């Protein structure tokens, strides 16, 4: 049997926590405690009931951490599945009643953007093509509420505006978005994948009908997340089988992953206030480091800490190609990104930066640095050491 390849990332500087963040010890402990047990949580025997108990206790933890009721927590394989269930499920349930419009912001994650565009492109016997409206944002990435109000009408099935943007960190007025949707009876959804653990997220207080969260952005395992869905919300499932999770998400639940997800979420929410302050201090140092080496750099997103995430820095470095910068940083032992990890390797400028009014050339010169629970001042020091040579080489390459 072939041996498992060794990881070689232990000595690297990791500044890509918005893509995924290391698992926290409590999540590892919670998962380890379940790895030796057997039992399908849908089975009626003792082993099945024990597995079900872990799932339901985890559901209670998730609900309590996010201001929801346990019955509103639908476990999924992660944020992408939860977003698809929210957008496609809400539309499929509403379109037969004459609600054929989907309204989203122009800077949504592709897990929302692509399902919405798929609905707009689809025409079948059972599902009419959606009237998709992508509402524009300000130059700092905040959805323009006047445009949203004009877009949302009695034909609208679902409105989806992310809680916090994954590329530039902008926080959105989700409570106001929910109120606008409620006025006309539309469902309101928010992808809160990047927000949870960094800013307060309260499902009940937000007025939302649907909310997405995932495990691997907050110190839990990859491959598990949840859609919070109010009990009275009508959704069509996007996959069928055993009828698990309120008949909205069929499939045998991964008890080990669910336990790790719940444990990580609880810790992240409990530590959120102190961690936000700590990361804000590191972020300030990171921005100062970049501007010291590149005074012409442009930092995207709101300057006011109250209006953005504390851990995301999207910076435009004129005269450089972001792809070249990424490779040079990688060679120097530092991990960052050119935007969403879900579109990494795709030779396209960021749709988020284009929506802010940046040109294609400007968008192609932007990098994202993102911090997390394992980040320290040593990471910023490593960036400071690598940055001058990386910039010099990237600019030289751009001139040739």
Tokens linked to 182: 């409620």
Tokens linked to 154: 């009695």
Return the number of other C-beta atoms located less than 10 Å from residue 15's C-beta.
25
Sheet holding 210-214, edge to edge: 73-76, 225-229, 210-214, 187-191, 156-160, 101-105, 131-135
In this predicted structure, the answer to whether residue 156 has a pLDDT above a threshold of 90 is yes
For 217-273, the pLDDT digits (tens) are 999 999 999 999 999 999 999 999 999 999 999 999 999 999 999 999 999 999 999
- In angstroms, rounded to a whole number, what is the distance separating the alpha carbons of residues 5 and 8? 9
Rounded (10°) CA dihedral 304, 308, 310, 311: -130
Return the number of other C-beta atoms located less than 10 Å from residue 252's C-beta.
13
- For residue 120, what pLDDT is reported? 93
Q: What is the pTM of this model?
A: 0.94
- In angstroms, rounded to a whole number, what is the distance separating the alpha carbons of residues 214 and 82? 9
Q: What is the mean pLDDT of residues 343-347?
A: 55
Only one residue has tokens 């209006």, namely 307
- Grade residue 314 by pLDDT with cuts at 50, 70 and 90: very high
- In angstroms, rounded to a whole number, what is the distance separating the alpha carbons of residues 75 and 243? 13
Q: What are the residues whose beta carbons fall under 8 Å from the beta carbon of 87, sequence distance 6 or more?
A: 102, 112, 115, 116, 119, 158, 160, 189
CATH no. for 272-399: 3.90.1150.10
**φ, ψ at 147 (rounded to 5°):** -70, -35
- For residue 197, what pLDDT is reported? 96
Q: What is the mean pLDDT of residues 295-311?
A: 97
Q: Where are the alpha helices (DSSP H) in the chain?
A: 25-35, 46-65, 79-94, 110-121, 145-151, 174-183, 203-206, 244-247, 255-270, 272-293, 322-331, 351-355, 360-363, 377-399
Q: What is the mean pLDDT of residues 297-307?
A: 97
The rounded mean pLDDT for the chain is 94
Share of the chain above pLDDT 70, in %: 94
**Residue 220's closest CA among 283, 171, 163, 269?**
269
- Grade residue 340 by pLDDT with cuts at 50, 70 and 90: low
In this predicted structure, the answer to whether residue 339 has a pLDDT above a threshold of 90 is no
In this predicted structure, the answer to whether residue 291 has a pLDDT above a threshold of 60 is yes
- For residue 11, what pLDDT is reported? 81
In this predicted structure, the answer to whether residue 325 has a pLDDT above a threshold of 80 is yes
End-to-end CA distance of the chain: 48
- Grade residue 399 by pLDDT with cuts at 50, 70 and 90: confident
Residue that wins the pLDDT comparison between 10 and 380: 380
For 96-111, the pLDDT digits (tens) are 889 999 999 999 999 9
Q: Do domains 25-270 and 272-399 have the same CATH topology?
A: no
- Grade residue 1 by pLDDT with cuts at 50, 70 and 90: very low
**316 neighbors 366 (Cβ within 8 angstroms):** yes
Indicate the range of 21-35, 56-70, 345-359 predicted with least confidence. Answer: 345-359
- For residue 400, what pLDDT is reported? 83
In this predicted structure, the answer to whether residue 62 has a pLDDT above a threshold of 80 is yes
For 123-152, the pLDDT digits (tens) are 654 668 899 999 999 999 999 999 999 999
- For residue 2, what pLDDT is reported? 52
In this predicted structure, the answer to whether residue 189 has a pLDDT above a threshold of 70 is yes
- Grade residue 292 by pLDDT with cuts at 50, 70 and 90: very high
- For residue 280, what pLDDT is reported? 98
Q: Which residues are catalytic?
A: 342
- For residue 122, what pLDDT is reported? 76
Q: What is the mean pLDDT of residues 339-346?
A: 57
In this predicted structure, the answer to whether residue 342 has a pLDDT above a threshold of 60 is no
Residue spans of the domains in the chain: they are 25-270, 272-399
Class of the domain covering 25-270: alpha beta
Burial 123-136, CB ≥16 within 10 A → b, else e: eeeebeebbbbbbe
Q: What is the mean pLDDT of residues 35-49?
A: 96
């Amino acid at each position: 049997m072939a041996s498992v390849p060794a990881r070689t990332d232990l000595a690297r500087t990791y500044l890509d926590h918005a893509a995924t963040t290391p698992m926290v010890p409590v999540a590892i402990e919670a998962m380890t405690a379940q790895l030796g047990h057997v039992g399908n949580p849908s089975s009626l025997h003792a082993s099945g009931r024990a597995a079900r108990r872990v799932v339901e206790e985890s559901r209670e933890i998730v609900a309590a951490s996010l201001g929801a009721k346990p019955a509103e927590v639908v476990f999924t394989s992660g944020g992408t599945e939860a977003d698809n269930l929210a957008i496609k499920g809400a539309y499929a349930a509403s379109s037969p009643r004459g609600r054929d419009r989907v309204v989203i912001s122009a800077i949504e994650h592709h897990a929302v953007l692509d399902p919405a565009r798929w609905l707009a492109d689809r025409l079948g016997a059972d599902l009419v093509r959606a009237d998709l409206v992508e509402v524009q944002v300000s130059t700092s990435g905040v959805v323009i509420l006047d445009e949203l109000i004009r877009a949302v009408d009695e034909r609208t099935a679902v409105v989806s505006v992310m809680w916090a943007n994954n590329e530039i960190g902008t926080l959105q007025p989700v409570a106001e978005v929910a109120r606008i949707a409620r006025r006309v009876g539309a469902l309101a959804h928010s992808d809160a994948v990047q927000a949870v653990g960094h800013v307060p997220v309260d499902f009940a207080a937000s007025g939302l009908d649907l909310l997405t969260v995932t495990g691997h952005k907050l110190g839990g395992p990859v491959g598990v997340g949840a859609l919070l869905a109010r009990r009275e919300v009508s959704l069509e499932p996007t996959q069928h089988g055993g009828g698990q999770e309120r008949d909205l998400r069929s499939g045998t639940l991964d008890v080990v992953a669910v336990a790790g997800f719940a444990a990580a979420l609880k810790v992240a929410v409990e530590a959120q206030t102190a961690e936000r302050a700590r990361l804000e201090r590191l972020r300030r140092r990171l921005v100062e480091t970049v501007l010291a080496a590149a005074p012409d750099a442009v930092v995207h997103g709101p300057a006011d800490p109250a209006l953005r995430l504390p851990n995301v820095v999207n910076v435009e470095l004129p005269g450089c190609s972001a792809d070249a910068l990424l490779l040079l940083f990688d060679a120097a032992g530092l991990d960052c990104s050119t935007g969403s990890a879900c579109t990494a390797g795709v030779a396209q400028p960021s749709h988020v930066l284009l929506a802010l009014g940046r040109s294609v050339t400007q968008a192609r010169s932007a990098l994202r640095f993102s911090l997390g629970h394992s980040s320290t001042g040593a990471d910023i020091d490593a960036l400071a050491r690598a940055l001058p040579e990386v910039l010099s080489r990237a600019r030289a390459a751009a001139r040739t």
